[in-house]
Amino acid sequence: MGRRSPYSAELRRRAVALVADVRGEYDTEFAAITSVARRLGIGSAETLRKWVRQAEVDAGKRQGTTREEAAEVRALKRRVAELERANEILKAASSYFARELDVKL
């Protein structure tokens, strides 16, 4: 599984919303992000920038994979792996039983 963030989902939401609120007070978006990250004790402005970008993707304002789509892809990959394991078990079992039938004939 993925790593756990030291930041709560609520802090992430608040930080992203705060960047949107104060964006007009700064010359660049990154300046706003840097200021908010510092105020909230977020270790890196880059971390907050990624949260802002993901929030934009999730809201449909930017191209990319939404969190929901990413979760669905992960679930489908797990399912495919599970089905491949089951398929290998069935192949081995059918091979075993085919050999047993050949011996008895």
Are 50 and 94 within one domain? no
- pLDDT: which is higher, 12 or 97: 12
Cα–Cα nearest to 51, from 39, 69, 36: 36
Are 3 and 40 within one domain? yes
CA separation for the pair 67, 97 (Å, rounded): 45
CATH number at residue 56: 1.10.10.10
Are 95 and 44 within one domain? no
Residue 98 pLDDT class (50, 70, 90 cuts): confident
Are 59 and 71 within one domain? no
The number of distinct structural domains making up the chain is: 2
* Spatial contact of 22 and 32, defined as CB atoms under 8 Å apart: yes
Q: Which two tokens stand for residue 35?
A: 């200021």
Are 76 and 47 within one domain? no
What is the CA 22 to chain-centroid distance, rounded?
27
Task: State the residue range of the domain holding 75.
Answer: 67-105
Are 44 and 79 within one domain? no
- pLDDT: which is higher, 1 or 30: 30
